[in-house]
């Protein structure tokens, strides 16, 4: 997919056509659908997270799409994010579907992504080649950067093709936005003792702990998260998904990026 800062980038809007199966993994019960893109007229298969799910909240869609935008801009492979429109007509076709009630509460724009093939789960105990270890190192740094507490040992939220990672599920990222403003880390490039517990549960931490690592490659790339990126991200997010957390996230990450070398030192420290 194109990065959102590319002049030709357009966020696809998908009209739901046919409801498919509910994915067994995922507490939000994501669903595969067939849909058609408004801008191109092309049909495809997509995964949609219905906003009427009991496990999603008003800010989930903004978190999801912003997490995808950031990951893509930093060079991670992500399923291409899309907007899935759930119309009354589409919801009516789901009357006998197990997700009908959720769909009927999810009319309008929902976060979705293009269905990806060619990736599978990383097997328990699977040896890591240099490419995968490098990507896990970057992914750990990314999770710390965005405060993503949801990539746990039992729920890695990525797939692999043996050489690269396909990462997803960012609705619980930016956990610092859930803190009162005066309780947030005043120096967000530093990792506080209170963060260690969720870091220990992070899948990548468990794979990387006990060794000295170099994060210079990751932090050098952070310069792409600049004012151009934030302006394009804001304009790309549907208006009814936007909330006040966007500015909190922008300011928080900007401060980390301004202290990127100290951030790299902190990442190295917590893995030793």
Rounded to whole angstroms, the Cα distance separating 46 from 117 reads 11
How confident is the model at residue 26, as a pLDDT? 62
Determine the Cα angle at 21 with ends 15 and 24, to 5°: 125
pLDDT in tens, 56-89: 988 999 999 999 999 999 999 999 999 999 999 9
86-138 pLDDT tens trace: 999 999 999 999 999 999 999 999 999 999 999 999 876 788 899 999 999 99
Give the pLDDT score at 64.
98
pLDDT at position 124 is 67
Query: Across residues 5-9, what is the average pLDDT?
Result: 97
- Identify the burial level of 67 via C-beta atoms within 10 angstroms of its C-beta, where 0-12 means exposed, 13-18 middle and 19 or more buried: buried
Phi-psi region of 172 (alpha: psi -120 to 50; beta: other; left: phi over 0): alpha
Degrees to nearest 5, angle at CA 261 with 259 and 267:
105
Q: Say what the pTM is.
A: 0.96
State the residue for tokens 């005043």: 186
Looking at residue 25, its pLDDT comes to 63
Residue with tokens 């702990």: 209
Q: CA-to-CA distance for 272 and 268, rounded, in angstroms?
A: 7
């Amino acid at each position: 997919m194109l990065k959102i800062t590319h002049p030709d980038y357009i966020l696809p809007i998908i009209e739901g056509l046919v409801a498919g199966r509910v994915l067994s993994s995922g507490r939000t019960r994501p669903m595969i659908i067939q849909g058609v893109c408004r801008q191109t007229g092309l049909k495809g298969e997509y995964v949609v997270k219905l906003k009427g799910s009991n496990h999603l909240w008003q800010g989930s869609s903004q978190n999801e799409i912003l997490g995808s935008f950031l990951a893509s801009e930093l060079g991670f492979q992500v399923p291409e994010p899309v907007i899935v429109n759930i119309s009354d007509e589409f919801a009516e076709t789901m009357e006998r579907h197990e997700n009908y009630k959720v769909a009927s509460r999810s009319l309008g724009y929902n976060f979705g992504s293009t269905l990806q093939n060619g990736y599978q789960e990383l097997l328990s105990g699977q040896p890591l080649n240099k490419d995968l270890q490098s990507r896990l190192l970057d992914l750990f740094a990314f999770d710390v950067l965005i405060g993503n507490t949801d990539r746990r040992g039992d729920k890695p939220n990525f797939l692999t093709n043996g050489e690269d990672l396909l990462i997803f599920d960012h609705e619980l990222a930016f956990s610092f936005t859930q803190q009162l403003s005066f309780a947030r880390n005043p120096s967000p490039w530093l990792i506080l003792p209170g963060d260690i517990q969720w870091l220990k549960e992070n899948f990548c931490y468990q794979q990387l702990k006990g060794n000295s690592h170099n994060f210079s490659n990751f932090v050098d790339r952070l310069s792409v998260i600049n004012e151009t990126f934030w302006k394009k991200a804001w304009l790309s997010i549907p208006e009814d998904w936007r909330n006040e957390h966007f500015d909190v996230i922008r300011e928080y990450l900007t401060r980390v990026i301004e202290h990127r070398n100290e951030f790299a030192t902190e990442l190295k420290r917590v893995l030793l």
